[in-house]
Chain A
Amino acid sequence: MTQPVLSVRNLEVEFVTRRGLLRAIDKVSFDIAPGEVLGVVGESGAGKSLTGTAIIGLIDPPGRIAGGEVWLKGRRIDNLPKEELRKVRGKRIGMIFQDPLTSLNPLFRISEQLIETIRTHSDMNEAQARARAVGLLTEVGIPAPEKRIDSYPHEFSGGMRQRVVIALALAAEPELIIADEPTTALDVSVQAQIITLIKKLCRERGTAVMLVTHDMGVIAETADRVAVMYAGRIVEIGPVRDVVKHAKHPYAKGLMGAIPTLATAETRLLQIPGSMPRLNAIPAGCAFNPRCAEAFERCRTDRPEYIPVENSQVACWLYDKRQTKREVAA
């Protein structure tokens, strides 16, 4: 197997508050291979964006990385000094945020922002950097890039702005792109354009992508593998087809059933009772146990380990029980 671009091991993020220590991310581990798109889904507060922020070391106090390791192409990056990490961040990891208007500086032309980024991470001169910037804008599908490059961010529409942000993220040819809800602020027709673009770039350049979103449709269309997060933990991770079509974890199952699709009109939507626990009141054992219809004694006391089920890893004791039963039967 080729070396993964990104390896996250037992990552923990904590927030120190007056009411005590809140663990927002709890022992999260995953790998992303070159050219692979890993989708990270979950509801608000599940810790999906925070995972992305923790990987690039942008967590602000009172938050802090409390444990675990982040490896980028075989090099540990979570313990690097600030200056070193800054170089890694722009050069080897690109970021795409939800709102393209706030991730571009409104006072500078697109050209200045692109050229600055390119020159920071390479030794090109002004003219070379400009040519490269035009090339990037062409690649992300902006019409007449030679003219548009000197526009200000407000002169672009939402979809075009997101394309500029993608061009910025690509500027230093990163090995990994972390895209945090890249299409949430956009209309469906534009969303489809951006998804197609991200997929194409990933395929052509072999860039690994961590795609954080709450929209399962986007994941189903874009990702190769999916991690489902709940209350700061990954409850299930596996190939996209398996997770979307045959989710194993009761929460992942509920989440998939709750999504209205174009195919299911008359059926009642599956609903999970209750809502996600607050960080200061995460139940013992499996965090999902109070909402789970299939919970039993062990779920309330022991935190589930990852159990391989078919091609997925599932953090649920249900599957352990079945395995032991099978063993007993054998």
Chain B
Amino acid sequence: MIPPLAQSAALVTVRDLRKTFDVSKPWLERVIDRAPKQFLKAVDGISFDIRKGETFALVGESGSGKSTVARMVVGLLPVSGGEVMVDGVSMSEVANSAARELLRRRIQMIFQDPYASLNPRWRVADIIAEPIRAFKLLDTNKDITDRVGELLTLVGLSPLDRVKFPHQFSGGQRQRVAIARALASNAEFIVCDEPTSALDVSVQAQILNLMRDLQDRLGLTYLFISHNLAVVRHMATSIGVMYLGRLVEVAPAAQLFSAPRHPYTRMLLDAVPDLEMSGRARIPVQGEIPSPINPPTGCTFHPRCPLVNERCRAEAPLPINGVACHAVEEGRDGAMELRKRA
């Protein structure tokens, strides 16, 4: 087994997680074209820890594999390799299935689109009570009704809203219902996949504030997936930056933003439109994320990297102190600052 990254009371431990999708053409076409099977490595060996009560954020552009990680961590997708451990119990080990079932109720998920994640034909009371009923947490209907009312109050809605249908709510209110449902089974670990991307800024602020308040009150642990760096900055304790299925940099939030080290992280931070209007210098961003079906050799970022050399094209870098980059390892990364000043 691979040793843990840091000695800590990690609630969630992800080790060498992999996901491969079969994207081959149908069998007959393959036979005719004499084409081999084709695989897409959506997630290619990533490891991280999340300590209790903290927020670990995964950021990256579309196609970097962040949502796939989220779905594997909650068990919506089977893993192709590696391991997800929650509170010391492996989520894929069959021998431990009883312990795993007990863990399931402690893990919940909030999805991006609150219009699609709530059943339009169910009343809010039934939506929120579903985990309670599924895990048989409460027996009588009265207890369940009381609990639903309590949860609605907790997320800033009224207990009277329980008889309404999802379409009677705005996007932000629906996301509150989704949060109440996630909390219904007394979950401790919540995986949030772009929870505010579908919302307007003023509503996004309400939901982000609510999520932080709930974390303080209930000691929740979040895995927070987002493409918005500013949102991540606001929520995360530590951050992992993903590129083409790999973690290129993992660092505490403050450090990642004040002193980003991987060239991709720096580029990403530079690309964020600047509300402060400081008129800071920018490294012109190059190119776009390549197709994961046929990723570049060596370090997958090398075609876009200003610090590329022969080694980067040939050899995939391993994470050292949280950064997977040959240039950083060799101390060649000072060149980027010089370019910026020039």
Within 8 A of A (CB), among B124-181: 170, 172
Chain B contributes a number of interface residues (CB within 8 A of A) equal to: 40
Of listed A159, A195, A262, A272, residue having the most chain B CB within 10 A: A262
Known: A188-B227, A220-B274. Is A262-B257 also a contact (CB below 8 A)?
yes
Asked whether any CB of chain A lies closer than 8 Å to the CB of B308, the reply is: no
Q: Which residue of chain B has the shortest Cβ distance to A187 in the bound complex? A: B61
- Distance in angstroms between the alpha carbons of A187 and B227 in the assembled complex: 8
- Distance in angstroms between the alpha carbons of A275 and B171 in the assembled complex: 10
Asked whether any CB of chain A lies closer than 8 Å to the CB of B92, the reply is: no
Q: Determine which of B203, B253, B268 lies in contact with A265 in the assembled complex, contact meaning CB atoms within 8 Å.
A: B253
Minimum distance in angstroms from B286 CB to a CB of chain A: 8
Give 16 CB contacts A-B under 8 Å.
Answer: A158-B288, A189-B268, A189-B289, A192-B282, A193-B285, A214-B200, A220-B275, A220-B277, A259-B275, A261-B233, A262-B229, A265-B233, A268-B212, A272-B202, A275-B170, A275-B203
Known: A189-B61, A190-B288. Is A268-B209 also a contact (CB below 8 A)?
yes
Known: A195-B273, A217-B273. Is A265-B288 also a contact (CB below 8 A)?
no
Decide if B209 touches A187 in the complex (CB within 8 Å): no
Contacts of A262 in B (CB 8 A): 229-230, 233, 257, 269, 272, 274
Decide if A259 touches B230 in the complex (CB within 8 Å): yes
Decide if A43 touches B202 in the complex (CB within 8 Å): yes
Contacts of A240 in B (CB 8 A): 277
Minimum distance in angstroms from A98 CB to a CB of chain B: 14
Minimum distance in angstroms from A129 CB to a CB of chain B: 29
Asked whether any CB of chain B lies closer than 8 Å to the CB of A216, the reply is: yes
Minimum distance in angstroms from B255 CB to a CB of chain A: 12
Beyond the given pairs A188-B227, A189-B61, A258-B205, 4 more chain A to chain B contacts, judged by CB atoms under 8 angstroms and listed by A's residue number, are A259-B230, A265-B234, A265-B253, A265-B254
Minimum distance in angstroms from A256 CB to a CB of chain B: 8
Contacts of B284 in A (CB 8 A): 196
Chain A contributes a number of interface residues (CB within 8 A of B) equal to: 43
Known: A44-B200, A188-B229, A192-B282. Is A244-B275 also a contact (CB below 8 A)?
yes
Known: A187-B227, A192-B282. Is A260-B271 also a contact (CB below 8 A)?
no
Contacts of B61 in A (CB 8 A): 187-189
B binding-site residues for A, Cβ under 8 Å: 61-62, 170, 172, 200-206, 208-209, 212, 227-231, 233-234, 253-254, 257, 267-277, 282, 284-285, 288-289
Decide if A271 touches B288 in the complex (CB within 8 Å): no
Minimum distance in angstroms from A291 CB to a CB of chain B: 9
Known: A214-B201, A265-B233. Is A189-B170 also a contact (CB below 8 A)?
no
Minimum distance in angstroms from A57 CB to a CB of chain B: 28
Q: Which 7 A-B pairs rank lowest in CB-CB distance, beginning with the nearest?
A: A217-B273, A258-B205, A43-B200, A269-B205, A192-B271, A187-B61, A260-B234
Q: Which residue of chain A has the shortest Cβ distance to B212 in the bound complex? A: A268
- Distance in angstroms between the alpha carbons of A220 and B280 in the assembled complex: 13
- Distance in angstroms between the alpha carbons of A54 and B170 in the assembled complex: 26
Known: A258-B201, A258-B204, A269-B209. Is A275-B172 also a contact (CB below 8 A)?
yes
Decide if B289 touches A187 in the complex (CB within 8 Å): yes
Contacts of B228 in A (CB 8 A): 260
